[in-house]
Amino acid sequence: MHRHVKKLWTHDVGLTVLLGMLFMQIFVLYPFETSAVGKMVVHISFSLILISGAMTVVGTPIWGRVILVFVILSLISRSVSGIYPSVLLDSLNALMAAIYFALLIIVILLQVFREGPINAHRIAGAVSVYLLIGMAWGSMYLFVDLQLPGSFSLAQIHTHTGVHSLAVKLYYFSFITLTSVGYGDIYPIHPAAQSLTMLEALVGQLFPAILLARLVSMEIENRQDKRNRGPDDPR
């Protein structure tokens, strides 16, 4: 059993599992975070994503340790904020989540772009990176709005439904900005929020194009290398 679990998280299949967990978190669970039960389920799911991300990079000693430290600190901070809620702890959780997602993005890209054939798991890893970009920016939006209330056109949420509803709205805003949908129902007001929004919109346009070009070039190079080696080359 231990061998099978280790194989899951040290091979490319771990990237696909992580993608599945991200999809569940973003598109299924977040809409229910405004209820008490939903908050608990989202918290558990997010904790699993933190652990999953740490296990995915377990084969990279340096990055694995760094991410593991952030996972432990984030889990402790989120548990404490659940018992003693405060703006300071909520802000800390948002900032730590953004840093964690950024580190995980770097590590996953290193795995996706390493030498070897491009398979479905690596493509799943690339999609995971795109989703993590949206989550990282959503966490930064939350941090900014907690520090500078009214940074977005959501002032009514602060007094009525609290930080969880605010987080759901800002993650939603992050993804519609990343994909350049821009319905206009939420918009940045403070200059810091506007700068972050412009940067995410730029990344949302450039990342898929650069990623696709890189994956295609890697696959072409891999196939050419196979042809040059010939069928009798054992490598």
Position 53 confidence tier, pLDDT thresholds 50, 70, 90: low
CB half-sphere exposure, 155, CA atoms < 13 A: 7
What's at 25, amino acid-wise? Q
> Which residues, at least 6 apart from 47, have a Cβ–Cβ distance to it below 8 Å?
75, 78
Provide the pLDDT for residue 159: 41
Q: Of 54, 48, 146, whose CA–CA distance to 100 is shortest?
A: 54
> Which residues, at least 6 apart from 118, have a Cβ–Cβ distance to it below 8 Å?
215, 218, 219, 222
> Comparing 192 with 111, which gets the higher pLDDT?
192
Residue 5 predicted with pLDDT over 90:
no
Q: Of 215, 232, 177, 184, whose CA–CA distance to 199 is shortest?
A: 177
Distance CA(124)–CA(185), nearest Å, equals: 31
What are the residue ranges spanned by the domains of the chain?
A: 2-220
Dihedral of alpha carbons 31, 153, 92, 102, sign: positive
Token pair belonging to 5: 């679990």
Helix (H, G, I), strand (E, B) or coil at 188: strand
Which phi-psi region, left, alpha or beta, contains residue 180 (left: φ > 0; alpha: ψ -120 to 50)?
left
DSSP state letter for 152? B
Please answer whether residues 106 and 63 qualify as being in contact, where contact means their C-beta atoms are separated by less than 8 angstroms: yes
Distance CA(42)–CA(31), nearest Å, equals: 10
Token pair belonging to 101: 């997602």
Please answer whether residues 107 and 63 qualify as being in contact, where contact means their C-beta atoms are separated by less than 8 angstroms: yes
Provide the pLDDT for residue 141: 97
Provide the pLDDT for residue 202: 95
pLDDT mean over 87-92: 89
Dihedral of alpha carbons 111, 112, 118, 121, sign: positive
What are the pLDDT digits (tens) for 119-163?
Answer: 888 888 899 999 999 999 999 999 999 999 889 987 555 444 568
Provide the pLDDT for residue 199: 96
Q: What is the mean pLDDT of the chain?
A: 79
pLDDT mean over 69-97: 82
